[in-house]
């Protein structure tokens, strides 16, 4: 896509945001910092322009993000009434990512799709897709600016959380000069990086550490050391007393093992329903593996949900991962 096309997409989105009066901002299922941060920031910015912005969730919000100012504004989709000039999607590669909240789509005149997933299905009437952006929050930042809304403290905090969660605190490949420039602006708007980092990463529940303990106990590594994975069963969650969302970030432990190229976490969400998280370090595009199973994501972070017994789902994914590593049986 040329930069002219990108500019005209942005202009179309801005036109829609300026003309509309009532908006719904839609979180994806199992919402992460980017989904929440980018939606909250744009929603608050629209409110500053005197518009109605309903912040819609389908799932619980992760406990470590409840510190965000404005987070209490999210409402469960089942409690949302009325019609919308537009439903706005941030960080959603396809329409199914909003889960059961999809029933609200019929009540929206237009769909505005704002994202950074290269695999985005362009399901909107307006699509602003910027794969080079580290987070949907980067795209939201650009739009908020062009709407003429200054960055107040709650908007800045929300955008900062979007940036640090999708870049692993500016460590991942998607981090660019632009990411740091935006972060600098957010700090000038009052964000305290140490406070946010402590709230997001270092204020953990005992149950989440117990879950990590179970995941590390179940760690497995392929013979050639290039593939590492772990598994969390429903029993593990029960024993740890952990909420399903408390597995966030665990896949990064196998990823950090020296020599590993692909890391995976297999999470038994319900009997016969396995959520798979995939990460890669340098070479393999794990979004291709995830899309094969109906999921998606980025080259270095992707996921999918497989309806099969845990052991079966795991074998299916590991076989694909070995293939992607090009080692055939050698990786086993
Ligand atoms: P996770 O492993 O859940 O942290 O997800 C990593 C990334 O993969 C997310 O940021 C999404 O871009 C993508 N992703 C995860 N699960 C799915 C899914 N079921 N469908 C499409 N994309 C997904
Ligand atoms: Mn996300
Ligand atoms: Mn994202």
Nearest protein Cα to ligand 1, atom 4: 277
Ligand lying nearest the CA atom of residue 33: 2
Q: Minimal CA–CA distance to 13: which of 130, 105, 107?
A: 130
Q: Residue 61 has which token pair?
A: 């919000």
Alpha-carbon distance of 58 to 290, in angstroms, equals: 22
Say if residues 121 and 94 touch (Cβ distance below 8 Å). yes
In sequence order, the 6+-apart residues with CB closer than 8 A to the CB of 234 are: 268, 270, 271
Q: Is the dihedral of CA 45, 177, 35, 8 positive or negative?
A: positive
Cβ of 154 below 6 Å from ligand 1:
no
**Position 74 pLDDT exceeds 80:** yes
Mean pLDDT of the chain: 97
Report if residue 95 sits inside a domain.
yes
Read off the CATH number of the domain in which 53 is found. 3.90.1640.10
Q: What is the pLDDT of residue 2?
A: 81
Q: What is the pLDDT of residue 3?
A: 84
**Position 101 pLDDT exceeds 70:** yes
The domain boundary residue, chosen from 202, 232, 247 = 202
Which residue spans within 145-253 are E strands per DSSP?
Answer: 220-221, 227-232
Say if residues 290 and 278 touch (Cβ distance below 8 Å). yes
Partners of 280 in the β-ladder: 262
Alpha-carbon distance of 40 to 45, in angstroms, equals: 8
The domain boundary residue, chosen from 184, 202, 220 = 202
Same domain, 75 and 112: yes
**Position 223 pLDDT exceeds 50:** yes
Please tell me the distance between residue 295's alpha carbon and the centre of ligand 2 in angstroms.
13
How many structural domains is the chain composed of? 2
Q: Is 154 helix (H, G, I), strand (E, B) or coil?
A: helix
**Position 329 pLDDT exceeds 60:** no
Report if residue 332 sits inside a domain.
no
pLDDT in tens, 34-59: 999 999 999 999 999 999 999 999 99
Q: Residue 262 has which token pair?
A: 């692909």
Report if residue 329 sits inside a domain.
no
Read off the CATH number of the domain in which 280 is found. 3.10.310.30
Please tell me the distance between residue 79's alpha carbon and the centre of ligand 2 in angstroms.
23
Cβ of 277 below 6 Å from ligand 1:
yes
Same domain, 110 and 259: no
Instruction: Give the nearest ligand 1 atom to 34 CA.
Output: 10
Say if residues 231 and 270 touch (Cβ distance below 8 Å). no
Say if residues 295 and 323 touch (Cβ distance below 8 Å). no
Please tell me the distance between residue 133's alpha carbon and the centre of ligand 3 in angstroms.
9
Q: Which helix H or strand E contains 266, and what residues bound it?
A: strand 262-270
Q: Tokens 């307006």 sit at which residue? A: 126
Same domain, 192 and 246: no
Q: Residue 75 has which token pair?
A: 């409402």
pLDDT in tens, 145-181: 999 999 999 999 999 999 999 999 999 999 999 999 9
**Position 331 pLDDT exceeds 80:** no
Please tell me the distance between residue 184's alpha carbon and the centre of ligand 2 in angstroms.
22
- If one residue of 250, 269, 296 were mutated to test the ligand 1 pocket, choosing by the most ligand atoms within 8 A of its CB, it would be 296
- If one residue of 35, 301, 307 were mutated to test the ligand 1 pocket, choosing by the most ligand atoms within 8 A of its CB, it would be 301
- If one residue of 266, 302, 305, 307 were mutated to test the ligand 1 pocket, choosing by the most ligand atoms within 8 A of its CB, it would be 302
Report if residue 197 sits inside a domain.
yes
Angle between helices 3-19 and 136-146 (to 10 degrees): 60
Average pLDDT over residues 123-133: 98
pLDDT in tens, 292-316: 999 999 999 999 999 999 999 999 9
**Full domain range(s) for residue 193:** 3-202
**Position 332 pLDDT exceeds 70:** no
Same domain, 274 and 168: no
Q: What is the DSSP letter of 61?
A: P
What does the buried/exposed string (b/e) look like for 2-30 if buried means 16 or more CB atoms within 10 Å of the residue's CB? eeeeeeebbebbbebbeebebbbbbbbbb
**Position 287 pLDDT exceeds 90:** yes
Cβ of 304 below 6 Å from ligand 1:
yes
What does the buried/exposed string (b/e) look like for 114-139 if buried means 16 or more CB atoms within 10 Å of the residue's CB? bbbbbbbbebbebbbbbeebbbbbbb
**Position 1 pLDDT exceeds 80:** no
Instruction: Give the nearest ligand 1 atom to 248 CA.
Output: 4
Q: What region, left, alpha or beta, does residue 184 occupy, with left being phi > 0 and alpha being psi -120 to 50 degrees? A: alpha
Nearest protein Cα to ligand 1, atom 22: 296
């Amino acid at each position: 896509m040329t930069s002219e096309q990108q500019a005209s997409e942005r202009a179309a989105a801005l036109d829609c945001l300026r003309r509309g009066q009532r908006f719904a901002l839609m979180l994806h299922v199992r919402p992460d910092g980017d989904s929440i941060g980018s939606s909250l920031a744009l929603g608050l910015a629209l409110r500053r322009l005197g518009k109605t912005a309903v912040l819609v969730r389908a799932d619980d919000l992760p406990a470590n993000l409840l510190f965000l100012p404005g987070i209490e504004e999210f409402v469960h989709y089942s409690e949302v009434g009325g019609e919308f000039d537009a439903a706005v999607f941030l960080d959603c590669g396809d329409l199914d990512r909003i889960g059961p909240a999809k029933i609200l789509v019929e009540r929206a005149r237009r769909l505005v799709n704002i994202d950074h997933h290269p695999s985005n299905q362009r399901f909107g009437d307006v699509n602003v897709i910027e794969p080079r952006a580290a987070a949907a929050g980067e795209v939201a930042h650009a739009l908020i600016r062009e709407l003429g809304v200054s960055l107040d403290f709650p908007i800045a905090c929300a955008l900062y959380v979007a940036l640090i969660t999708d870049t692993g605190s500016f460590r991942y490949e998607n981090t660019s000069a632009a990411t740091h420039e935006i972060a600098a602006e957010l700090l000038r708007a009052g964000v305290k990086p140490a406070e946010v980092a402590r709230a997001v990463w270092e204020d953990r529940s005992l149950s989440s550490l117990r879950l990590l303990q179970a995941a590390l106990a179940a760690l497995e590594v392929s013979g050639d050391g290039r593939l590492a994975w772990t598994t969390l069963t429903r029993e593990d969650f029960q024993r740890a007393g952990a909420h399903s969302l408390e597995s966030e970030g665990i896949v990064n432990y196998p990823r950090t093992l020296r020599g590993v190229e692909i890391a995976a976490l297999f999470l038994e969400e319900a009997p016969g329903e396995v959520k798979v998280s995939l990460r890669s370090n340098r070479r393999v595009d794990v979004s291709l593996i995830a899309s094969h199973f109906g999921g998606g994501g980025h080259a270095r972070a992707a996921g999918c949900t497989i309806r099969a017994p845990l052991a079966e789902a795991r074998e299916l994914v590991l076989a694909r991962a070995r293939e992607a590593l090009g080692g055939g049986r050698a990786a086993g």
